Amino acid sequence: MKIYLVGGKGGVGKTTIAGFLSILLSERGDVLLLSTDLAHSLKDFFSIKKKGKRIKIRPSLWIFEPDIEKALKNYIGDIDKKVRENFSPTIYEDIKPFLKFSSQDPANYDLVLFNILSNEIIREEHDFMVVDTAATAQILKFATLPDRLLRWYDLLIKWRKKYVAMREMAKLNVGEEKFLPILLRKKEKMEKVKKELAQADFIWVLEPARLAFDETEKALKNLKGKIKLSALVMNKVSGKKPSVFDFPSPSLIEIPLFESEPLAGSPEGEKISAELKKILT
């Protein structure tokens, strides 16, 4: 599965670019367009009113706007279940208040959205996946989370192996060890996610404005070596490009400023698609 990540400052047109890119890719294979932005707008872009988190809108194009609050509760619920199954009631009662707090904490939204993204990568149900990300901070988190989670898994595996060894030395018969295999499988999956994200094409969208340029410069510096920048898309260009623009990129795509919002199937959309084809060739 080939992955395209579309990022940039809020309000620069990421959803528009991700939408037209997914339409182009759907002519080459099966595509999932995933939104990791809390303020989903994929349905607005495609002018559809269907309900459901995963909707097939074309023969080879699906859109997925996760219900983040439900996903967070399910994510914490899964952890709760594993803790109850693999630890003593005393330990579970100590951890339970933290799990309850975490299930209501919006600070965990990006972690859960990354988990959704990771699950789609592991499933590999589509030929292509286009990810319409939130503002800059989220893509910075996504770029660093695999390494942070892998370090955490290594630490948990180390602790669990010591616990299992001590239990065996004491000749305690507590049944089959289930938690360690879970950790080892999670680590293996995260290693695959890290590899796939490192190979993904990252498309950065910005507008010809100084604030957008400053944020782009900072973000690309922080992302260097973590994500493969494949193209810069300068959206809403009118007149001469500002002289402050000086970012190295394999491809620079310029999208003109239109009088009306470009939507799927519109004449403006055809012009955008023609420019985005340069990224795919």
The pLDDT score that the predictor gives to residue 73 is 86
The pLDDT score that the predictor gives to residue 100 is 78
pTM value is 0.88
The pLDDT score that the predictor gives to residue 200 is 94
The pLDDT score that the predictor gives to residue 248 is 63
| Predicted confidence (pLDDT) per residue in 122-162, tens digit | 999 999 999 999 888 898 899 999 999 999 999 999 998 99
**Mean pLDDT of the chain, nearest integer:** 87
Question: What is the spatial distance between Cα 23 and Cα 46, in angstroms, rounded to a whole number?
Answer: 10
Assess contact for 126 and 56: CB atoms under 8 A.
no
The pLDDT score that the predictor gives to residue 17 is 94
Assess contact for 235 and 263: CB atoms under 8 A.
no
The number of beta carbons lying within 10 Å of the beta carbon of residue 4 is 24
The pLDDT score that the predictor gives to residue 52 is 65
Q: Please write down the long-range contacts of 89-93, taking CB distance under 8 Å and 24 or more positions apart.
A: none
Give 208-265 as a DSSP string.
SSHHHHHHHHHHHHHHTTTSEEEEEEEEEE-SSPPTT-----S-EEEEEPPSS---TT
Is 2-73+102-150+198-280 a CATH 3.40.190.10 domain? no
Low-confidence ranges of the chain (pLDDT < 50): none
Question: What is the spatial distance between Cα 80 and Cα 57, in angstroms, rounded to a whole number?
Answer: 36
Delimit the domains of the chain by residue range.
2-73+102-150+198-280
* 211 conformational bin, left if phi > 0, alpha if psi -120 to 50, beta if neither: alpha
